[in-house]
Structure 1
């Protein structure tokens, strides 16, 4: 058996007696004790059970020796490069992207139904303008095609919007307030004002099928003037319906949408006019399709000009519109728009060529809306489209005499 160990109290009394005999003197002070050294002259750098740290042991472990407590720490040696001061960096400066390359912004959770909503809203607006032109110029086929298409498109637009919201009650709840600074709130009211007017105008086209006598005969007489008034009211609301979706996208934090705030309403307005013209070229006889051809030229000019600006003015943020799915769709949209306009002008007497031109303009509008949608989503997923423009704006602010409202600076100058 091992001998009995001293009690804890006895050990504590011995420690107090030894401490009282030595006094509160530290090594290096007058009357102090020198640090302990080992048998081979190595200075001990630590005490206590399990420590046994000495200079020799530290060298064996490839560690730097611990300096004595009474020696002040020495300044770290600085290296000079090119005669200048400063400490030499051991690692190159890191280029920040994001945390583990993850997106800085949360990409929009919108799906294809929102892109379809953008297209059907523009189609409804363009068709109502086409119908108003046919009404004012006494072209019944053009008026009829525009009114029926406008009602069908706005109904589909309401369906896609409610489908994205998840519950129909949410659309009703958005009508509780009217907030002019909110594009979503204004868009809800615009859609609510446009829909009934387009509906009355389209229903009025069925008046000629009603009997001439009785209650239905009264409807036969009252519906045409009511439809004319409603058609003009829908045409007055159509420009707001065609462009508010562009303002809605630009009002988000998605980089390529936000920076394109001047061009998106122009592109959407041109796309709406071109799609409405496509309906007229498809449905109306060539002798009544004159307004549709003029509408196609105006819409194509706006759409192509806005698309060119988006792909050249935004710098780095133009890249999402030129690559990937968005780039393919937008290039196809430009080609179809150009082909549709040329066909509309060349097919003044050809019903087949006029119809093909109308189909090309409708397909171009679909490609343009979906291309803009995919371009914005792609810019939100890549962190460089958020970080690099922010750094550029910061450098422009720091540089004297520079205009922070230049290309890519944003609506508020950064």
Structure 2
């Protein structure tokens, strides 16, 4: 009787994770550096800068309006160039426009980027040349729609994959990307506009820094086990650097006022922080795809919960 009771009380130890010779279950992302993370950064800068230009135009802030238009047009043009380089041949980017597929984030994103790039270029041309200024302002107002989409659609593009660290973070990634884009665009406005005229840019930068910091913290906390790739290795170093730079730059933006030095330091810190965020997210995705436990363990847990 005692023996039966002892056997009943024995606990089978939980089996350690194993995979087939430790080989990855899914293929790692083939996106290249610095092309893809820089493209993600430039898209965010362009999208939020266009929205900032709209607000500056409507409130009569001509200096900030000019800076934001330049940042929006340059970000869209350079981003399109980097995306073409990432695809290997420029004609592949043009082939994206042969169809419009709502179920494909890449297809929808390509059309958004093309529309936003054209509108941003027209808005800047109307302002710089003085030719058809009303048409330029109309194009600028249209970017109030395409700008936010350009700044955030890349989060959907990243999350709509089988990469565990990206796919499972689909709730927070749009907020993380939006906050990072606001911080970077605000930084561009601070660096390109005299401090006396850069008040709204400082506000956008500080708000974006706060949104990015909170979204990143909530993402890693909710992901738990799947948040490890964001905390260790190269990705961990980049994400920690991003948090320090973004938080520090955001605080400086609040207190910078008309100080040229503080505006410059804040803008540079926020720019570096936004770039670190994009490179860190790419590195975390690669790490989670390369290690099979991040694919298999969550699947087993879901099966156990369902049974």
Q: Which bin holds the TM-score, normalised by the shorter protein?
A: over 0.9
Report the Cα offset of residue 207 of structure 1. Answer: 1.9
Match of 1:108 among 29, 40, 46: 29
Match of 1:283 among 169, 192, 198: 192
Match of 1:137 among 59, 65, 76: 59
Moved more, 350-359 or 243-252: 350-359
2:213 maps to 1:292 = no
Report the Cα offset of residue 301 of structure 1. Answer: 2.1
Q: Please report the RMSD computed on the Cα atoms of aligned residues, expressed in angstroms.
A: 1.8
Provide the rounded CA distance (Å) in 2 between the counterparts of 1:94 and 1:298. 46
Report the Cα offset of residue 151 of structure 1. Answer: 1.2
2:156 maps to 1:234 = no
Q: Which has the higher contact order (CA 8 A, sep 6+)?
A: 2
Provide the rounded CA distance (Å) in 2 between the counterparts of 1:294 and 1:366. 20
Give the 3-state SS of the residue equivalent to 1:206 in structure 2.
Answer: helix
Give the equivalent residue in structure 2 for 1:364: 273
Give the equivalent residue in structure 1 for 2:40: 118
Match of 1:171 among 90, 93, 102: 93
Match of 2:73 among 148, 151, 158: 151
Provide the rounded CA distance (Å) in 1 between the counterparts of 2:157 and 2:302. 24
2:134 maps to 1:225 = yes
Alignment map for 1:6-405 (pairs within 5 Å): 82-83=3-4, 95-112=16-33, 113-207=35-129, 219=131, 222=132, 224-398=133-307
Provide the rounded CA distance (Å) in 2 between the counterparts of 1:317 and 1:325. 16
Give the equivalent residue in structure 2 for 1:41: none
Report the Cα offset of residue 247 of structure 1. Answer: 0.6
TM-score relative to the length of structure 2: 0.93
Unaligned runs of 5+ residues in structure 1 are 1-81, 85-91, 209-218, 399-414
Provide the rounded CA distance (Å) in 1 between the counterparts of 2:186 and 2:14. 56
Moved more, 295-304 or 257-266: 295-304
Deviations for 1:197-233, whole angstroms, at most 9, x for unmatched residues? 000111123225xxxxxxxxxx3xx2x2222111121
Give the equivalent residue in structure 2 for 1:33: none
- Equivalenced residue count is 299
Report the Cα offset of residue 133 of structure 1. Answer: 2.0
Moved more, 317-326 or 108-117: 108-117
CA contact (8 A) 2:36 2:83 kept: yes
TM-score relative to the length of structure 1: 0.69
CA contact (8 A) 1:131 1:147 kept: yes
Report the Cα offset of residue 275 of structure 1. Answer: 0.7
Unaligned runs of 5+ residues in structure 2 are 6-12
Provide the rounded CA distance (Å) in 1 between the counterparts of 2:262 and 2:16. 55
Report the Cα offset of residue 129 of structure 1. Answer: 1.8
Give the 3-state SS of the residue equivalent to 1:260 in structure 2.
Answer: coil
Provide the rounded CA distance (Å) in 2 between the counterparts of 1:94 and 1:368. 35
Deviations for 1:126-176, whole angstroms, at most 9, x for unmatched residues? 221221122111111111111111111111111111111112222222112
Give the equivalent residue in structure 2 for 1:79: none
